[in-house]
Structure 1
Amino acid sequence: MAGCSIANYASGCEVFERLQRSLRVDWRDYVALVAFEYDAREHPFAVLAGIILSQNTSDRNSIRAYLQLREMVGVSPEAVLSAPEDRLIEAIRPAGLARQKARALREAARRILEAGGEKVLLEMPWRELREFLLSIPGVGKKTADVFLQLVRKAPVFAVDTHAARIAKRWGLVGEKAGYDETSRALLEFFGPERSENAHRLLIALGRTYCRARNPRCDVCPLRDICPYPRGCSTGRNDGGEG
């Protein structure tokens, strides 16, 4: 953990509680949560499919694609594998990169069925499952960790662009930190019991206040304890953007 850090001023629990009070997180705005609410009880594969669709696009687009996949093809691995390729591509077109994502969905479905079906997503030890998921072309660390956080409640922290940016601005990691270092730092800061909800809160914080360009530091709910953009040399941030 970097020396100039939000942790100098507040614990992860305190930051988490403040974010919960200040930010709106609606499950209908996140494709992974939409898939989880609609289909995870019957088809845990559906959540993985939704996360794959979310790669390199907005949740709005990936939710549209997921709902079309659900209606036009189905969200079980069997349905994805048996659907004509052109129909699968058309269903997920709103998510962008439709051919690439269709290949990833088919490969994930094939690997999961070969491994014993969807039950492996629920029964395989989570560390082993993470390695299995990472072996599937088109499934990276963030995709695997979002699935593990949400479906298996595993002690991991998924890092997207918002989480990476915020962790650096908070001083939890250095500017050159990679995925693994950032994931460990956020998991340590928030604690595994809060990791899944904290992940959503960081997305909401990044979208609303801690934006890549023109961050709204003056109205951020953490403006008095965040070391960005002034740094620790001036003590607590008084809310200015200077």
Structure 2
Amino acid sequence: MFIIKVIFFDTETTGLDCFTCKIIELAMLTIEDGVVIDMYDEFINVSEPISPEIIRLTGITNDMLINDGLSEEIVAQDLKERLTADTLMIAHNCQFDLQFVYSLLKRHFPNEADDIVSSLDWLDTVSVLKDRKEFPHKLIDAVKYYNIPEVNFHRAIDDTKALYEVTMAMKSERDDLGEYINIFGFNPKYGVIGKRFEFIEYKSQSFHQRIVAPEFTLPNKR
């Protein structure tokens, strides 16, 4: 399949559980044929206070959500319009962000959400990074590994910009990212966290100390 549309995306949320928590910031950097065509970054007013821990972690305050946030309904519609079939969605720890995007769509488009997310392709850069670099594997670590200027981490739009640079560096390092599409690695100690999606192949993935040979990468693991 020849993919020409790519969306780098990131979410900031009220917590870790997509069934009980919600997205408070969604950012999408859309690229078509190598050109940035859209930068989307919106707060979501979830109509409930966020915890001091989330405020500390993200720098997002209740006032920011109340004064600048859109409704979930508007953001869900924006998502639906952008997530056109065969788009490649890229996120760092994509399983987490995919779950929250799906839950948001499911609340507002219950009869369409499954078809929307299953019509897309998904790439998890954490799974790639685990085949390339030693632990740890957060986005901030990837930025350091590839000598990319640091951004304001834990703000969604800045994370998407950093993720784009990391992905380009990974592609230059070894051009096998296409093999990881719709394949997510998971820590064998914890298993797959959250909802399993039928269109994703989940594989147990251990840590490595260095870049592994192509025949031992996650896509080739049996």
Same fold (TM over 0.5): no
Larger Rg: 1
Q: Which has the higher helix share?
A: 1
Higher strand share: 2
